[in-house]
Chains A and B, each alone.
Chain A
Amino acid sequence: MIPVREPLPGRTKIEIRGIHMAFRTEESDVRVLEDIALDVREGEFVCILGPSGCGKSTLLNIVAGFLPPTSGSVRIDGEEVRGPDPRRIFVFQERGVFPWLTVEGNIGFGLGKLPRGERERRIAHYVRLVGLEGFEKAYPHELSGGMKQRVEVARAFAVNPDVLLLDEPFGALDSITRLVMRGELLRIWQAEQKTILFVTHDIEESVQLADRVVVMTARPARIRRIVTIDLPHPRDLSSRRYLELRDGIFEEIGLAHKI
């Protein structure tokens, strides 16, 4: 069994302060994010949960340094984010895998500066970690969606970033593969001690994965509530506490959990 992770009193890793974001269109300014403030501790797994199109991906892009916010700031380890950096890797849906490179080539993509032997050792390690042994020389178009997503995750982990930013990474996968991938992500996260910011619109997913779930409103997105998930891993998905937390969020969003 995997040891229980204490709700970490640890050091603050990511400080998000007063983020506002507006996109200018022909007619008007579209307000996407309003006054977002959030601290993420080192080694914490935080899910950002909100309806599709609410702006949560925009927030993740700002934290990654791909987009400058209209106002506010993001600091990581006390240092202001001014652009993308290999210390924090953005994980796209499986479409972010480079189709012109093999599995090996993709996983080793960020390892160009390492000596050859070290690079090969690391590639082999992460190929094993995501269970793609035997597919090292395969090209992405020869793989299934789930396998491509593993490549994407392995490519991110291989450069040993402190922070992983995942943007609905399992959204395009079938429900069985998605469950398997969640389990694998948790396993890797626990083995490698990363800080993870994970964007999703799936309530169950957020309660299964996160230490804390940040529930967002519809656009313009604000933080509605932050729910601490005080459940040890592996989580029993039929336990009273799990259902309580899950239903609490359903209610928070105003959805009756019935169909």
Chain B
Amino acid sequence: MTPRRRLEAILLPAAAAAVLIALWHAAVRWTGTSVFPSPGAVAGGFAELARKGLLLRYSRDSLLRVAAGYGAALVVGIPAGVFLGWRPLAARAANPVIQLLRPISPLAWIPVAIVLLGVSNMAAVFLIFLASLFPILVSAMNGVRGVPAMYRDAGRNFGLSQQALLSRVVFPAALPEILTGLRLALGIAWIVVVAAEMIAVDSGLGYLVIDSRNAGKRYDLVVAAMLLIGAIGLVLNLLVQRVSRLRAVRWGFREETP
């Protein structure tokens, strides 16, 4: 990027954000609402949360739940997906079940999670696990299934065992698609943690939203929590995007390289 482009890349979004905040401020003024907070009130809300130490603690709690649920989905989903992609017969057996379960919103699992695990941290983690599992599983399965026969033939030609073929050819060939699934799954996990925390636990950013509303209609805190959720989600997405720029997988993301 030229320095001019780089400057534009910072200034343009900053200007758009400034306009949006100004409009928000004006809208609160003009309507004279006493419920919806102004930008200034939300900034005050942020300060209050920071003072009480809730900002860091709740962010940490939410992130830890995502780490646990998403991590478990990685550990289960990648090997299972690779296996299903590698063994067409197993995939044909499992695919209808996967396709049936996949469109079910993770929120529909809430009652099941509560019956199985109680109103607990585990229930929230379980929901995140389920929500992340399907995109990861399906992308790993499709990624492996879509590896060109030419790569497999070349690998076999060089005398690789089945295991070496899987680790040295099939997995790296499927990795870009697997990473796409991981990125999708992380986005979903971050959405689901907020919902799960509204129901199952008493900490975290989702809990902060619902608790601020219930305990005295503190909409300044509600909006502050919402913005924080957005900001953390943005950072998570940028981190995963970083991974797909690594040179060994970049070949699979040609349309996304800057």
Main secondary structure of the interface of A (DSSP, over half): loop
Alpha-carbon separation in the docked complex, A57 to B14 (Å): 58
> Could you give, for residues 230-253 of chain B, a 1 whenever the CB lies within 8 Å of some chain A CB and a 0 otherwise?
000000000000000001111110
Which 6 A-B residue pairs are closest in the complex by CB-CB distance? A110-B158, A99-B251, A100-B172, A86-B159, A84-B157, A141-B251
Contact A98 B150 (CB under 8 A): no
Q: Can you name the residue of chain A whose Cβ is closest to the Cβ of B175?
A: A100
B42 at interface by CB-CB < 8 Å: no
A135 at interface by CB-CB < 8 Å: no
Contact B172 A98 (CB under 8 A): yes
B19 at interface by CB-CB < 8 Å: no
Alpha-carbon separation in the docked complex, A90 to B175 (Å): 25
The residue from A89, A96, A112 contacting B150, defined by CB atoms under 8 A apart: A96
Q: Can you name the residue of chain A whose Cβ is closest to the Cβ of B164?
A: A112
B24 at interface by CB-CB < 8 Å: no
Contact B251 A140 (CB under 8 A): yes
- Chain A interface bracket (under 10, 10 to 19, 20 to 34, 35 or more): 20 to 34
Alpha-carbon separation in the docked complex, A141 to B250 (Å): 9
Contacts A95-B150, A141-B254 hold; do A100 and B248 have CB atoms under 8 A apart?
A: yes
> Could you give, for residues 106-137 of chain A, a 1 whenever the CB lies within 8 Å of some chain B CB and a 0 otherwise?
00011010000000000000000000000000
Minimum CB–CB distance from A217 to chain B (whole Å) comes to 27
Contact B159 A92 (CB under 8 A): no
User: Which B residues lie within 8 Å of A221 (CB)?
Assistant: none
Give 28 A-B contacts (CB < 8 Å), ordered by A residue: A66-B153, A66-B156, A84-B153, A84-B156, A84-B157, A84-B159, A86-B158, A86-B159, A89-B157, A90-B153, A92-B150, A95-B148, A95-B150, A96-B151, A96-B154, A98-B151, A98-B169, A98-B172, A98-B173, A100-B172, A100-B248, A101-B172, A101-B248, A110-B158, A139-B251, A141-B250, A141-B251, A141-B254
A85 at interface by CB-CB < 8 Å: yes
Contact B158 A100 (CB under 8 A): no
Minimum CB–CB distance from A81 to chain B (whole Å) comes to 12
User: Which B residues lie within 8 Å of A100 (CB)?
Assistant: 172-173, 175, 248-249, 251
Minimum CB–CB distance from B243 to chain A (whole Å) comes to 14
Alpha-carbon separation in the docked complex, A151 to B150 (Å): 15
Contacts A92-B154, A98-B151 hold; do A85 and B251 have CB atoms under 8 A apart?
A: no
- Chain B interface bracket (under 10, 10 to 19, 20 to 34, 35 or more): 20 to 34
Minimum CB–CB distance from B162 to chain A (whole Å) comes to 13
Q: How many A-B residue pairs have CB under 8 A?
A: 56
Minimum CB–CB distance from A138 to chain B (whole Å) comes to 9
Minimum CB–CB distance from B256 to chain A (whole Å) comes to 13
Residues on B close to A: CB < 8 A? 148, 150-151, 153-154, 156-159, 164, 168-169, 172-173, 175, 247-252, 254
Q: Can you name the residue of chain B whose Cβ is closest to the Cβ of A89?
A: B157
Minimum CB–CB distance from B21 to chain A (whole Å) comes to 42
A16 at interface by CB-CB < 8 Å: no
A64 at interface by CB-CB < 8 Å: yes
A159 at interface by CB-CB < 8 Å: yes
Alpha-carbon separation in the docked complex, A84 to B155 (Å): 10
User: Which B residues lie within 8 Å of A90 (CB)?
Assistant: 153-154, 157
Q: Can you name the residue of chain B whose Cβ is closest to the Cβ of A87?
A: B159
User: Which A residues lie within 8 Å of B157 (CB)?
Assistant: 64, 66, 84-86, 89-90
> Of A90, A99, A140, A141, which is in contact with the most chain B CB atoms at under 10 Å from its CB?
A99
Contact B158 A109 (CB under 8 A): yes
User: Which B residues lie within 8 Å of A89 (CB)?
Assistant: 157-158
Contact B153 A139 (CB under 8 A): no
Alpha-carbon separation in the docked complex, A96 to B159 (Å): 16
> Of B158, B173, B175, which is in contact with the most chain A CB atoms at under 10 Å from its CB?
B158
Contacts A140-B251, A141-B251 hold; do A85 and B159 have CB atoms under 8 A apart?
A: yes
Alpha-carbon separation in the docked complex, A246 to B111 (Å): 78
User: Which B residues lie within 8 Å of A96 (CB)?
Assistant: 150-151, 154
Alpha-carbon separation in the docked complex, A57 to B45 (Å): 70
Minimum CB–CB distance from B17 to chain A (whole Å) comes to 36
Q: Can you name the residue of chain B whose Cβ is closest to the Cβ of A99?
A: B251
Minimum CB–CB distance from B46 to chain A (whole Å) comes to 44
Minimum CB–CB distance from A104 to chain B (whole Å) comes to 13
Alpha-carbon separation in the docked complex, A100 to B154 (Å): 14
